[in-house]
């Protein structure tokens, strides 16, 4: 209890000393950050921060409470980065939607960039902006080569590069040949989508095991925090605190490593 009062007093003293100045400077920046990242702050992202914040309050220790807050902040930051990366990832399903929308428009009016603009309305970000920008470059410069070159510079997605190749060839091919090429490409995209579903199913078991380990560790941590006898084992001495921090660090590092490997496997496969 004394340690908790010391921690509260320390925070209060720091706030009284610099709180107003920091608040005045940080508030506009904080609003900008929240506006930029609000859409990524899903339940999956913020849950670790809430859990470790609650653990920090329950432990009521001048050393372990800040440590738990730092662990929670690290996990939130890591999941936020993953959410941003996933939002920028173009999947075979998205490419398939684009190609099908383009094919439908192309059959009605075989004008490549006009059809691209129409197809862009049927897909989500970031693919929509990529396709829209490419079309706008063509309408601004009247150069198909420059538009396609800019497209390739903005993405390294193999499937999109194949799609652009078909569009380039459409300049010297008949409308029928272009439509047949698009149909063949759609068939390949469906195979990629099936592979994507298989990979996601296989990874679900790995992520499920990871989630179970994380859940078990959290339950144990809450039991320790709620039972005074167990909590005193870790908060009553420097050795106990070090042991608790090492255990939590190992658990956090292990789950972080597994999450990273799963993410890398997704990126390579999908």
pLDDT band at 55 (very low <50, low <70, confident <90, very high): very high
pLDDT at 157: 87
Indicate the Cα dihedral angle 210, 214, 220, 225, nearest 10°.
Answer: 170
* Torsion sign (Cα): 218, 220, 223, 225: negative
Give the integer Cα–Cα distance in Å for 270 and 267: 5
pLDDT > 70: what percent of the chain?
Answer: 84
The length of the chain in residues reads 270
Higher pLDDT among residues 119 and 199, named by residue: 119
pLDDT beyond 80 at 28: no
pLDDT > 90: what percent of the chain?
Answer: 26
pLDDT beyond 70 at 215: yes
Angle at 136 between CA 134 and CA 137, to 5 degrees: 65
pLDDT band at 27 (very low <50, low <70, confident <90, very high): low
pLDDT band at 18 (very low <50, low <70, confident <90, very high): low
pLDDT beyond 90 at 166: yes
* C-alpha neighbours within 13 Å on the C-beta side of residue 50: 7
Whether omega for the bond prior to residue 74 falls within 30 degrees of 0, making it cis, is no
Q: What is the mean pLDDT of the chain?
A: 83
Segment (H or E) for 30: helix 2-37
| Residue 99 contacts residue 186 (beta carbons within 8 Å) | yes
Domain locations along the chain: 2-88+197-269, 92-172
Write out pLDDT tens, residues 219-239: 999 999 999 888 998 988 989
- Residue 261's φ and ψ, nearest 5 degrees, are -65, -40
Residue 45: partners with Cβ closer than 8 Å, 6 or more residues away:
76, 79, 80, 83
- Residue 62's φ and ψ, nearest 5 degrees, are -65, -20
pLDDT at 23: 54
Give the integer Cα–Cα distance in Å for 6 and 10: 6
pLDDT at 22: 47
Query: What pTM does this model have?
Result: 0.71
Six-digit token string for 45: 């992202």
pLDDT at 163: 93
Write out pLDDT tens, residues 113-160: 999 999 999 998 889 999 999 999 999 998 898 999 988 888 888 899
């Amino acid at each position: 209890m004394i340690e908790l009062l010391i921690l509260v007093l320390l925070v209060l003293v720091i706030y009284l000393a610099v709180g107003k100045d920091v608040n005045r400077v940080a508030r506009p920046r904080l609003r900008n950050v929240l506006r930029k990242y609000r859409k990524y702050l899903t339940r999956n992202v913020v849950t670790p921060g809430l859990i470790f914040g609650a653990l920090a309050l329950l432990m009521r220790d001048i050393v372990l409470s800040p440590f738990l807050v730092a662990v929670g902040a690290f996990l939130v930051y890591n999941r936020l980065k993953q959410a941003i990366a996933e939002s920028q990832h173009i999947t075979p399903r998205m490419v398939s939607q684009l190609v099908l929308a383009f094919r439908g428009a192309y059959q009605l009016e075989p004008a490549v960039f006009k059809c691209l603009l129409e197809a862009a309305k049927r897909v989500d970000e970031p693919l929509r902006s990529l396709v829209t920008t490419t079309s706008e470059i063509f309408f601004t410069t009247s150069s198909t080569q420059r538009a396609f070159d800019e497209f390739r510079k903005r993405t390294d997605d193999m499937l999109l590069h194949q799609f652009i190749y078909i569009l380039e060839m459409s300049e010297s091919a008949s409308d029928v040949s272009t439509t047949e090429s698009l149909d063949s490409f759609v068939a390949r995209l469906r195979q990629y989508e099936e592979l994507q579903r298989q990979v996601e199913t296989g990874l679900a078991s790995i992520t499920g095991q990871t989630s179970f380990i994380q859940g078990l560790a959290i339950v144990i941590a809450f039991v320790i925090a709620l039972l005074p006898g167990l909590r005193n084992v870790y908060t009553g001495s420097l050795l106990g605190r070090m042991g608790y921090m090492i255990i939590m660090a190992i658990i956090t590092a292990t789950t972080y490593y597994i999450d990273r490997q799963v993410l890398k496997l997704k990126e390579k496969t999908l």
